[in-house]
Structure 1
Amino acid sequence: MRGSTCEDPNAQDKFSQARSGPGLEVRERRLMAMADIRREQAA
């Protein structure tokens, strides 16, 4: 990304949408799955 998000309110809006959107949920679920796999490997 070029420039500051403060300069572009539209980019800031997109960023907040991305943070609260379904994409974040999927990312969190993937992280949880990765943690579970690591836990199984460590056991």
Structure 2
Amino acid sequence: MTDKTGPLADLRLIELGALLAGPFCGQLMADFGAEVIKVEAPDRP
């Protein structure tokens, strides 16, 4: 793991979104330092 800095560096969150807003918000949180764990459904492409 890399050493992240930013205002959200102490956060770990789970992203369950499949449409536009969910992944976009997860990316924003990661850009601000959060660790984002993405969970995808096995039947989605």
- Please, what TM-score do these two structures have when normalized by structure 1? 0.35
Where is the helix percentage greater, Structure 1 or Structure 2? Answer: 1
Where is the strand percentage greater, Structure 1 or Structure 2? Answer: 2
Larger radius of gyration: 1
